[in-house]
Chains A and B, each alone.
Chain A
Amino acid sequence: MNRTMILQMIVSGALMGQVYALIAYGFQLTYATSKSINFGQGELVMLSAFFSLTLINWGIAYPLVVVGGLLFGAVLGLFVERAGVRLALEQKSEGWILLTIILGLFGFSTAENIWGRDDRPFPTPISSDPIHIFGIGITPLEVSVILGVFAVMGLIEGFKRYTLLGKAFAALAADRDAAGLMGISATRTIMLSYALSGFVSAMAGILIAPITTVGPTMASTLILKAFSVAVVAGLDSGFGVVITGLVLGAIESLTSFFLGSGWREAPGLLLLILALAVRPTGLFGKTTIRKV
């Protein structure tokens, strides 16, 4: 067993972990404005990937496919907000939990009906021939994942920090009534946050699809790990998810190497349980997750 190989495991795992981080970031976006999260977000990842694949099959150029896929994700996010979240929030109920789960199941069966149950390859112009750096092989595809994740998160964080509309996100999160008094519409801001979380999910789908293939179940384990990352990092911690994702991804790939791939999902679950037991506010976070 040599060092390079272990390093290789860590690097590939950590890269993969950035996709968990991105989806976890999607949870954070809606949590910040509405204290609700979309439990069907995995299905958004999957549906957007399928949609993008369809665009590819229609012969549309890859950059346009990405744009189309992202917009599709944003629209799905808006749909989830309208159909599953708004009414529940207006009635101050926790009904969004069940409703977003149901919408997720609905999305799952829709995907099966339209695209079938098989996993399909997702062709991409980005190469998967590894480049070797210090003996560690990294594929351009993996690099595209990390660039994509950082680009999207950087863009949204910049939006939140440097535009007035983005500052309204933080204002709404901090004090809902006071935000209303400033003329910040909670409904519209929450809509925007759901659109952004859909956008982020679609990005995750497009980035991961060439590596994992596309199928109705492609996001089912992904979402669990993203959830672990969100809970461990805290639902309000911004970049905490990046570090947590990095670590979880690395541990995962080591676990599956040393204990066998059947143990691959174990660290994520273990981490989730530990986090909930030891520090329900998340390592980087402040507020607790009630009743979730």
Chain B
Amino acid sequence: MLICEQVHAGYGNVRVLHGISFAVQAGKVVALIGANGAGKTTAMRAISGLIGPDQGSIMLDRQPIHHLEAARIAHLGLAHVPEGRHVFAPLTVEDNLLLGAYGWLPRLFGFRRKAAQEMDRVMQLFPKLAERRRQLAGTLSGGEQQMLAIGRAIMARPKVMLLDEPSMGLAPVIVQEVFSIIRRLKDQGMTLLLVEQFASHALAVADYAYVLERGRIVVQGYPEELMKNEQVVTAYLG
């Protein structure tokens, strides 16, 4: 579903990714783990078009996307829940969710009605958001903002969803909640690329995983294999 081959990317003169290759099959959850500064966020930004990769190819559903801008890629079915959540703070919870579906909703009128079904689905998944429908997103707690960011991505009805450190800065209970949502999405057949610094949670849901170190993929395998790999265990699971 999503295939990266020899992707190089960076910022200005700083090269961050030195040719990474990986694949996410349809309906699978793939984890990308690595230390601070390994380049996980950079990889996600390169996939979703927030930065243009310098080299390499990225295919979404057999279609090359590495030369497209973020908005186009979103229309092709990729939803990226960015690190730090990036909800639209001055807009209401509901408006945030509606904008998540910007790609397929009518732009002028009737969008509320059209979005109703999807909206209900998200509200069922996140009852807290239902209570706070008209609240401004910026006034939500960190956990609620993360739920909103994920809900907004679900609204897009994506083919692939990228989740960048959904547990960042959250209390353990909320982290549990976030991962139970991820599991639900997986059960519903969503294709997911999941970035986590703390690998144990990620490996517990993932079907396959890659370990990124200083812009290179150094280890890959099924979670059971990685959990037996000494290097991986001492570096990320210890």
User: Is B215 positioned at the interface, with any CB of A under 8 Å from its CB?
Assistant: no
User: Is A167 positioned at the interface, with any CB of B under 8 Å from its CB?
Assistant: yes
State whether B74 touches A164 (Cβ < 8 A).
no
Closest to B109 in A: A163
Complex interface bits, A146-189 against B, C-beta within 8 A gives 1, otherwise 0: 00000000000000000111011011001101111111111000
State whether B82 touches A170 (Cβ < 8 A).
no
The size of the chain B interface, using a CB distance under 8 A, is 32
Shortest distance in angstroms between B166's beta carbon and chain A's nearest beta carbon? 15
- The A-B contact count (CB < 8 A) is 81
Q: Looking at the complex, which one of B50, B89, B95 makes contact with A180 (CB distance below 8 Å)?
A: B50
Q: Looking at the complex, which one of B71, B88, B90, B106 makes contact with A183 (CB distance below 8 Å)?
A: B71
Distance in angstroms between the alpha carbons of A250 and B39 in the assembled complex: 58
Distance in angstroms between the alpha carbons of A178 and B74 in the assembled complex: 11
Distance in angstroms between the alpha carbons of A179 and B103 in the assembled complex: 11
State whether A182 touches B74 (Cβ < 8 A).
yes
Q: Looking at the complex, which one of B48, B80, B108 makes contact with A165 (CB distance below 8 Å)?
A: B108
Question: What residues of B have a CB within 8 angstroms of the CB of A184 in the complex?
Answer: 71, 99, 102
Shortest distance in angstroms between B41's beta carbon and chain A's nearest beta carbon? 12
State whether A170 touches B102 (Cβ < 8 A).
no
Distance in angstroms between the alpha carbons of A186 and B69 in the assembled complex: 10
User: Is B86 positioned at the interface, with any CB of A under 8 Å from its CB?
Assistant: yes
Q: Looking at the complex, which one of B48, B49, B91 makes contact with A167 (CB distance below 8 Å)?
A: B91
State whether A183 touches B108 (Cβ < 8 A).
no
State whether B48 touches A181 (Cβ < 8 A).
yes
Distance in angstroms between the alpha carbons of A207 and B91 in the assembled complex: 34
User: Is B100 positioned at the interface, with any CB of A under 8 Å from its CB?
Assistant: yes
Distance in angstroms between the alpha carbons of A179 and B74 in the assembled complex: 10
User: Is B134 positioned at the interface, with any CB of A under 8 Å from its CB?
Assistant: no
Of residues 41 to 75 in B, which have CB atoms within 8 Å of A's CB atoms?
A: 48-50, 69-72, 74-75
Q: Is the interface of B mostly helix, strand, loop or mixed?
A: loop
User: Is B98 positioned at the interface, with any CB of A under 8 Å from its CB?
Assistant: yes
Question: What residues of A have a CB within 8 angstroms of the CB of B95 in the complex?
Answer: 167, 170
Distance in angstroms between the alpha carbons of A175 and B70 in the assembled complex: 13
Q: Looking at the complex, which one of B74, B89, B108 makes contact with A181 (CB distance below 8 Å)?
A: B74
State whether B82 touches A183 (Cβ < 8 A).
no
Question: What residues of B have a CB within 8 angstroms of the CB of A177 in the complex?
Answer: 50, 70, 82, 86
Closest to B111 in A: A164
Shortest distance in angstroms between A168's beta carbon and chain B's nearest beta carbon? 6
Distance in angstroms between the alpha carbons of A164 and B74 in the assembled complex: 17
Shortest distance in angstroms between B97's beta carbon and chain A's nearest beta carbon? 10
Q: Looking at the complex, which one of A175, A182, A186 makes contact with B102 (CB distance below 8 Å)?
A: A182
Shortest distance in angstroms between B89's beta carbon and chain A's nearest beta carbon? 6
Question: What residues of A have a CB within 8 angstroms of the CB of B86 in the complex?
Answer: 175, 177-178, 181
Distance in angstroms between the alpha carbons of A163 and B89 in the assembled complex: 18
User: Is B16 positioned at the interface, with any CB of A under 8 Å from its CB?
Assistant: no
Given contacts A170-B90, A174-B91, A175-B86, contact A180 B49 (CB under 8 A): yes
Distance in angstroms between the alpha carbons of A179 and B87 in the assembled complex: 9
Question: What residues of B have a CB within 8 angstroms of the CB of A171 in the complex?
Answer: 88, 91, 99
Which 7 residue pairs are nearest across A and B when measured between Cβ atoms? Answer: A180-B70, A183-B74, A178-B86, A183-B103, A165-B107, A185-B71, A164-B111
Q: A181-B70, A183-B71, A184-B102 are in contact. List 11 more A-B contacts (CB 8 A).
A: A165-B108, A168-B102, A177-B82, A178-B88, A180-B69, A182-B74, A182-B102, A182-B103, A183-B156, A184-B99, A186-B71
In the complex, 5 of the A-B residue pairs with CB atoms within 8 angstroms, ordered by the A residue number, are A163-B107, A178-B87, A178-B88, A181-B74, A183-B71
Chain A interface (Cβ < 8 Å from any Cβ of B): 163-165, 167-168, 170-171, 174-175, 177-186
